[in-house]
Amino acid sequence: MYAGEQTLIMQRIVRDSLYAACIFFLGVSAAWADDGTEGICMMVRHGIRLHVDGMYGGYPHSVLRDAVLQGVACPSDEAERHVFGLIADPPPHLRISVTRPMGQGQQGAISARLFSQGHFVIGERMSLSPLARSQSPFSVTSEINLLMARLWSDLAERISHGGRAIP
């Protein structure tokens, strides 16, 4: 076996292990059934209330919600966790919208908007990749992960330049 193949195998093992851990922690987090939100990122203070909007082709909303839950990224580095601590009480609200109209080749988009204490904090938006536009909702998990990583990074960057956590 070549060193490059071993590296690829190890990367897949680590990635799959992280996915399994995320699924486990999302599965044991409390659901906020009274207002259609779910608790995520519970390892960071009191977590975040997540609400999933949108539609993905003809798939049921529950499938879309499960795909979003698999892709959500929580604050990961020290700067991101610090910024999250500034907006964590009461738990912030995250609204992720995924839209992919029915039909092959239709354009689609993902957006994430973070709210704290009733105020808009930050948002991100991106178009769906060609792959995600032609596959099941679970094909967007990596795009949601990237979108969330950008959201946390941009928020941390704003604070590091003297900006306010809640504008």
pLDDT of residue 14: 64
- Whether 105 maps to a domain, the answer reads yes
- Whether 96 maps to a domain, the answer reads yes
- Whether 15 maps to a domain, the answer reads no
- Whether 118 maps to a domain, the answer reads yes
Q: What's this model's pTM, rounded to 2 decimal places?
A: 0.72
How far is CA 9 from its chain centroid?
26
- Whether 1 maps to a domain, the answer reads no
- Whether 53 maps to a domain, the answer reads yes
Total number of domains in the chain: 1
- pLDDT bin (cut points 50, 70, 90) of residue 28 is very low
In order, the DSSP letters of 14-48 are: HHHHHHHHHHHHHHHSPEEGGGTEEEE-TTSTT-E
Q: Would you say 132 and 146 are in contact if contact means Cβ atoms under 8 Å apart?
A: no
- Whether 12 maps to a domain, the answer reads no
- pLDDT bin (cut points 50, 70, 90) of residue 159 is confident
- Whether 167 maps to a domain, the answer reads no
Question: Do β-strands 48-56 and 93-100 pair in parallel, antiparallel, or remain unpaired?
Answer: parallel
**Residue closest to 96 by CA, chosen among 28, 21, 139, 37:** 37
Domain that holds residue 110: 31-160
Q: What percent of the chain has pLDDT over 90?
A: 33
pLDDT of residue 122: 93
